[in-house]
Amino acid sequence: MSKPETEIVVEDPAAPASDSPAVTTSRTVDVAVSFLLLAFAALLAFDNWRTGMGWDSTGPQAGYFPFYLSVILGGACLWGIAKEFLARKAAAETFVTRDQLRRVLQVFVPTLLFCFLMQWLGLYVASFLLIAGFMAFIGRIAAWKSLLTAFLFVFAMFVTFDIAFDVIMPKGPIESLFGR
């Protein structure tokens, strides 16, 4: 006799509240992205028209296919914008709530800072700061565990990429002290 499968429910105490106010609706995001893509399609169409989007004695010019792909992209954007404006009387569903956006930004902002810091501090120091910061501040893990884990990970990365495979990685001032 087989046991019926039981569902295990794990509650996240830090999960966003269900009554958090909406920041924006799906319709707003759809229209904004469609306008951005439409502008991009117009830029591509202009550039490919300037390059040459016709036929010459040897066949299609360099911008022929990209021009028509940008026209198709522009048409799809116009269709999406028209569809959203025609459906504006229908209830719009929430795209993201304030609490959900806060959680996304908790990951996005440090990752963006990592990309900028990597230019000056190098890959390994920036990775150490990112990992230790995520573990300590977002994961609420003890500081010594966060620092040790970040150090071990960065050390393994350094040994793997710099020593074993001799891959050139962005270096910062600390790595230059080791003569690498």
77 shares its domain with 136 = no
Same domain, 103 and 85: no
Average of per-residue pLDDT values in the chain: 90
Are 79 and 125 in the same domain?
A: no
Global confidence as pTM: 0.70
Name the CA dihedral angle for 161, 167, 172, 177, rounded to a multiple of 10 degrees.
Answer: 80
Q: Which of 175, 151, 147 is nearest to 162 (CA)?
A: 175
In this structure, the answer to whether residues 166 and 108 fall within a common structural domain is yes
| Statement: residue 179 has pLDDT above 70 | no
Tell whether 73 and 117 lie within a shared domain.
no
Confidence at residue 88, expressed as pLDDT on a 0 to 100 scale: 83
* The domain boundary residue, chosen from 70, 95, 120: 95
Q: State whether 28 and 77 are in the same domain.
A: yes
Q: Are residues 109 and 71 in the same domain?
A: no
pLDDT at 55 over 90: no
pLDDT tens-place string over residues 115-147: 999 999 999 999 999 999 999 999 999 999 999
| Residues 105 and 165 both lie in one domain | yes
Domain that holds residue 85: 24-95
Check if the beta carbon of residue 134 is closer than 8 Å to that of residue 60.
Answer: no
